[in-house]
Structure 1
């Protein structure tokens, strides 16, 4: 039972969490979990030698495969979806493991996971790389008959790396992959445009970076602290005939909303393709 996984008094794991694939996303989860629980019950399963060496230097237990696994141990599948079958082939203990399995692989459906692994104690999710600093957002799906211990295990992990939202329709995971999973890259892309403008106007690159990161951080904090909608904040900054209104008018003339929607739709479609 899940109550055996956590020692509530000490706040420590009693079972192990295996991160299968410790690249950008798997690594972000790994570092986020370390910030909450330490490293003693975490193991990175990574075949890339340089990446494995780096994680070892960071104090993590690292192995090329899972040699032995206990019933209550949790497995996080974070390999690229194209490598899922290879990862299972190289970690045959997964085929006899009936403990919680959490997939963060884009496009790989619950049905496909169940068919390959042979059991239904599965969570499909889409976290993001902000999990590394425990400020991620994870969207996850559990089958209707999922047991409470499985849900608790997933929420324990997702809660340690940020916020989480459960959806009842698995199709929303593909949209969530585009929105939440890819979101940090989209936001960073916009931030880069701001920084490029600042540098082109004569700001030092370090100063430009500081301005842009504070803009993102401050605006996000303002939205969360006040509960105001994004467009409410947008309108509050604008004054009739002012400088910000002129900038927003350029966005509207170029239909920026439609461009962003097209980008997210393309990403969600790719998520579906990866699962085929």
Structure 2
């Protein structure tokens, strides 16, 4: 895949590093084809030493010879980054954004560049086990779409959608989803400790229970309710626990939490749109 152009990663944080590591791990790029640019000198030095990539602190310099420009900055800094790179993206380059809540229209207008992919990965992408929902602008051609899939292949699975509104939904469901799972794990582990297990044993029991349950669902492909019924005997322990969870509003709480995340994502996008500088 080395015939593809250089890649510039603007914002080599956790997800930016995940992309860099994935591209190198899968042999899709060489270190010398990757430029990482960010404001933190120590972080840049760390990334450069760990992966052998070019680490610089000038966004304009980073994108100068790039065929793919990946925006992986915090949402709070996107206006500054867009202003800095306005009109600087090479004409044939693809802009690839993983910034939550920032629309394709905003990125395109902010950079004065039409070929834009917007994607929402999640944190398991850091070990190549993520799921990414993505879409693109009308200006993205077949070759650029192939470049986008190359980047996504370094993160795990991918799902293409033709309606950008699904990206905000994905942010709430799969993007924020690991946080819900980790909270659930934490609660189960703490419950195990409360019962009398050591924290180490409780963590092992919970981790394998969740891993095994997911793999079992993946293999059986039955409705989750059917699988739940398999382990729920009449008047048994699981029935008692599930009754309490339903009474406590567990199912409703999850649904409302996902909806709250979705609303927040939409709010963030609207808020940033209204703050765009006039020259963008």
Bin of the TM-score, shorter chain as denominator length: 0.7 to 0.9
**Unaligned segments of structure 1, at least 5 residues:** 1-5, 7-11
In structure 2, do the counterparts of structure 1 residues 44 and 210 end up closer, same or farther at CA, with 3 Å as the change threshold? farther
- CA drift of 1:21 comes to 1.0
Mapped to 1, the partners of 2:158 and 2:165 lie a distance apart of 17
SS in 1 for 2:36: strand
Which of the numbers 17, 32, 39 marks the counterpart of 2:22? Answer: 32
State the aligned residue count: 266
* Distance (Å, rounded) in 2 between the aligned partners of 1:126 and 1:56: 25
TM-score (norm 1): 0.88
Task: Give the aligned CA root-mean-square deviation in angstroms.
Answer: 2.1
Partner of 1:154: 148
Cα–Cα, structure 1 residues 262 and 271, in superposed 2: closer, same or farther, change >3 Å? same
Matches within 5 A, 1:64-75: 64-66=57-59, 67-69=61-63, 73-75=67-69
Match of 1:49 among 41, 45, 48: 41
SS for the counterpart of 1:79 is coil
Distance 1:232 1:14, change over 3 A: same
How far residue 189 of structure 1 moved from its aligned partner, in angstroms, is 0.9
Task: State the Cα distance separating 1:261 from its structure 2 match.
Answer: 1.3
Structure 2 CA distance for partners of 1:148 and 1:273, relative to 1, 3 Å: same
Contact 2:71–2:96 (Cα < 8 Å) also in 1: yes
Aligned with 1:249 (options 236, 240, 243): 243
Q: 1:116 to 1:191 in 2, by over 3 A?
A: same
1:63 aligns to 2:60 (yes or no): no
Q: Report SS of the residue matched to 2:26.
A: helix
Q: Any gaps of 5 or more consecutive residues in structure 2?
A: 271-280
